Amino acid sequence: MVTIKQVQSKSDLKKFVKFPFSLYKNSPYWVPPIIKDELESFDPKKNPVFKSAEASYFLAYKNNKIVGRVAAIINWLEVNEQGIRKMRFGWFDFVDDFEVSKALIDQVAKIGQQMELEYMEGPVGFSNLDKVGVLTEGFDHIGNMITWYNHAYYQSHYEKHGFVKEKEYLENKFLAANADPKHFYKANLLIKKRYNLRELNFTESKEIMPWVDKMFDLFNDTYSSLASFVRITDEQKAYFKKKYISFINPEYIKFVVDADDELIAFAIVMPSFSKALQKAKGKLFPTGVFHLLKAKKESKDVIFYLIGIHPDYQNRGVTAIIFNEYHKTFQLKGIVNCIRTPELEENTAIRQMWRHFDPVTHKRRRTYRKDLSV
């Protein structure tokens, strides 16, 4: 028999965060989060997303042992401003037992029905900057800090419980050596001259900080046309600025500005921390910090995290400027592999952007949807 218990205490929340450490303890591909950071992301006093969202967390027990977890989430900006009456769920992990996964998902459905929402979708996070999608292909590739990893049996659980595919995401990678300047160097010069643009490069994090709010504004402008997009609030901007920007190599952040120094494009790349996080085993001390700092300095793999281009400059070749700057940086750093975060399969524009680099799709993931009709 499966018993569902709602997380009510700090002790329970820590159990919620640590459950995957036992579920994936023998996996060479799972990348653990830093426990402290994960706990803080669920803390309404520290994560500003809870000014416009709410969440409940549940643990599944069988024979007095934790066998699953799920977060039930409502983003009220999505529901009230966009009219999308969706029940979100994420951090959905479970042993290979259909009774367990059903008991957890039934709890999510119950909340959605009580709130008179129309359907549920997951796995997703609180907002668009959180992790998304259950892995359906590529289980033999190491995960990263931007995505969830899961066992191969997850997909069958979603489908057995009546879920259907909602969105499909591709994850691609390519060799840095494939980024041949012949595909973008001349275009970079032409585009800068035609539109009177220039690149901004950085060597210190403090140089970036005055631009960060403008960057998130541009992020909102870039993706506002997507039906599933939920804008980043001012409180979230401050939160992400404090939590992440100083952690990213300043030379991996590239901006493009116009003649009036208005930001019209940006891109953020991160060093891969996957191996370092595996060595850290969820803890910064005593040695976790050392592994992460070493990876920040020495990792030869990078992750393309975010890219944004103002709608007025989309499809005008501005990415050539960004690629040209990264090419120079990657050569200096000796970067070998470039890994892209999940991109919607239907986003043909993004695939066209990378076409010259011979990308390989090494992972697929998707979100699933189920109606909440009683």
pLDDT digits (tens, 9 = 90+) for 344-361: 998 888 888 898 999 999
Provide the CA 96 distance to its chain's centre, in angstroms: 25
Is 90 exceeded by the pLDDT of residue 245? Answer: no
Query: Do 307 and 347 contact (CB within 8 A), yes or no?
Result: no
Rounded to an integer, what distance in angstroms lies between the CA atom of residue 374 and that of residue 371? 9
Give the orientation angle of helix 234-243 with respect to helix 212-223, to 10 degrees. 120
Residue with tokens 């599944």: 60
Give the orientation angle of helix 319-333 with respect to helix 185-195, to 10 degrees. 130
Percent of the chain with pLDDT over 90: 87
Backbone angles phi, psi at 253, to 5 degrees: -110, 125
Q: 334 Cβ partners below 8 Å, 6+ apart? A: 300
| Peptide bond connecting 123 to the previous residue in cis, omega within 30 degrees of 0 | yes
Give CA angle at 185 (183, 187), nearest 5°: 80
pLDDT band per the 50, 70, 90 thresholds, residue 246 = confident
* Predicted TM-score of the model (pTM): 0.94
Average pLDDT over residues 88-107: 98
Provide the CA 66 distance to its chain's centre, in angstroms: 26
Strand partners, 341: none
Residue ranges and CATH numbers for the domains of the chain are 2-170+367-371 (3.40.630.30), 174-364 (3.40.630.30)
Is 60 exceeded by the pLDDT of residue 149? Answer: yes
Q: 243 Cβ partners below 8 Å, 6+ apart? A: 37
Give CA angle at 212 (293, 278), nearest 5°: 25
Alpha helices (H) along 6-134: 10-23, 35-41, 76, 98-114
Percent of the chain with pLDDT over 70: 99
Query: Do 323 and 178 contact (CB within 8 A), yes or no?
Result: no
Query: Do 71 and 55 contact (CB within 8 A), yes or no?
Result: yes
Average pLDDT over residues 298-325: 95
pLDDT digits (tens, 9 = 90+) for 98-136: 999 999 999 999 999 999 999 999 999 998 779 999 999
